[in-house]
């Protein structure tokens, strides 16, 4: 990989991390100059990274206005999670049959660590372990096209799915996703591909329903983000 390409990939990852971590929320605008100063580069590579992330669907470029973290309306968000559920379900199904023994041990370790994070109420650790859990299944599917598709789709909805775990003024019940992950993990480790797929689809669907309820009842994510998008 050329030095310029590596630099662009690194910047793209750094910017996406700001979104995944919740520092930038749906509707937040991206200031190229501030990002350039933060990462010690010129605005040109920042602009290129933003263009790439826009192509992936994570950002929304607006003519003569600032680029923002993409916001979904209710229908688009439902469709995104519906597609994600099927893709993640397929990953879990394949992983149950194709995952290496090393991957299985790693999965067991993540589930044990998740249990500790749940018990301690450690939301940051729970969020990181949630991401690792899905990454293990993506890799375990042993299909590069499927893995890339799953990672891209998860990235697009992460600003919404991560909000309940990372929002300072909201306290999610960490036991719910942990128990669902445990059931999926059990099916994968037992090589029950059909059960792994069904449980994963249900898990993603439950996640969507929770976020939809949060948006409908409180509007926490949308309201905090909409005010930031005015630019």
Classified by CATH at the fold level, domain 74-222 comes out as: 1.20.120
Looking up tokens 């005010």, which residue turns up?
Answer: 227
Provide the residue ranges of all domains of the chain, joining segments of one domain with +: 3-70, 74-222
Looking up tokens 């009842």, which residue turns up?
Answer: 217
pLDDT at position 223 over 50: no
**For 3-70, which CATH class?**
mainly alpha
79-102 average pLDDT score: 97
Looking up tokens 């919740």, which residue turns up?
Answer: 22
In the predicted model, what is the mean pLDDT of the chain?
Answer: 86
Instruction: Please name which of 174, 162, 161, 181 lies closest in space to residue 111, comparing C-alpha atoms.
Output: 181
Secondary structure of residue 29 in the 3-state scheme: strand
Q: Give the range among 19-23, 63-67, 116-120, 223-227 with minimum mean pLDDT.
A: 223-227
pLDDT at site 225: 42
Residue 72 near residue 160 (C-beta atoms within 8 A): yes
Of the chain, the percentage scoring pLDDT greater than 70 comes to: 86
């Amino acid at each position: 990989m050329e030095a310029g390409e590596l630099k662009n990939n690194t910047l793209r990852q750094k910017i996406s991390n700001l979104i995944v971590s919740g520092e930038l929320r749906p509707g937040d605008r991206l200031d190229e100059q501030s990002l350039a100063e933060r990462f010690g580069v010129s605005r040109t590579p920042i602009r290129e990274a933003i263009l790439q992330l826009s192509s992936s669907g994570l950002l929304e470029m607006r003519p003569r206005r600032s680029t923002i973290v993409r916001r979904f309306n209710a229908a688009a968000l439902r469709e995104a999670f519906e597609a994600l559920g099927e893709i993640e379900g397929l990953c879990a199904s394949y992983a149950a049959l194709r995952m290496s023994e090393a991957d299985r041990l790693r999965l067991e370790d993540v589930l044990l660590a998740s249990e500790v994070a749940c018990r301690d109420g450690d939301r940051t650790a729970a969020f990181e372990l949630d991401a690792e859990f899905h990454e293990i299944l993506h890799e375990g599917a042993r299909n590069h096209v499927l893995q890339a598709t799953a990672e891209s789709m998860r990235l697009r909805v992460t600003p919404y799915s991560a909000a309940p775990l990372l929002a300072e003024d909201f306290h999610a019940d960490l036991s719910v996703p942990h128990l669902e992950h445990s059931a999926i993990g059990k099916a994968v480790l037992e090589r029950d591909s059909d059960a792994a797929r069904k449980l994963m689809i249900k898990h993603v669907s439950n996640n969507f329903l929770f976020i939809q309820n949060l948006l409908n009842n409180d509007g926490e994510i949308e309201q905090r983000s909409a005010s930031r998008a005015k630019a």
